[in-house]
């Protein structure tokens, strides 16, 4: 993302989480379709290899979209909003932004926002 970090207020992060959810849902549906088609093919088929490449492209496109919004991608369908003292944390399929964790805790240390 470069040297400039965006710091999010909770209000600003909650305003765009709907867009994050829509973009993520679109990517998840496309990825699920690709996986279903891939798994229906023979293990050594060229179709399976192309499906894996297509799946990686979908995930990469989603990650770039999230980064373009100023978010940090922390895993598959998992993003953090840096607030200057830690992260507001969102993961698919959560419907709202309801968790926080410090810089050192990571996903496992997240707690509900009061």
* Residue spans per domain, the chain: 10-112
CA R_g for the chain: 16
Predicted local confidence at residue 4, as pLDDT: 58
Name, in order, each residue with C-beta under 8 angstroms of 1's C-beta and a sequence gap of 6 or more.
67, 70, 72
Return d(Cα 111, Cα 109) in angstroms, integer.
7
45: pLDDT strictly greater than 90 = no
- For the chain, helix (H) and strand (E) counts, in that order, are 2, 5
Q: Is residue 74 scored above 80 in pLDDT?
A: yes
62-76 CB burial, b ≥16 within 10 A, e <16: bbebbeeebbbbbee
Grade residue 32 by pLDDT with cuts at 50, 70 and 90. Answer: very high
Long-range contacts of 15-19 (CB under 8 A, 24+ apart): 16/69, 17/90, 17/96, 17/97, 19/69
């Amino acid at each position: 993302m470069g040297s400039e970090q965006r710091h999010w207020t909770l209000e600003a992060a909650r305003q765009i989480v709907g867009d994050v959810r829509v973009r993520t849902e679109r990517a998840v549906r496309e990825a699920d379709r690709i996986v279903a088609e891939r798994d229906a093919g023979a293990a050594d088929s060229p179709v399976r290899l192309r499906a894996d490449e297509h799946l990686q492209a979908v995930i990469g496109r989603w990650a770039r979209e999230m980064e373009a919004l100023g978010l940090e991608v922390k895993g598959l369908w998992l993003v953090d909003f840096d607030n200057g003292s830690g992260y507001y944390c969102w993961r698919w399929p959560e419907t709202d932004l309801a968790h926080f964790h410090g810089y050192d805790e990571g996903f496992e240390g997240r707690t509900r926002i009061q």
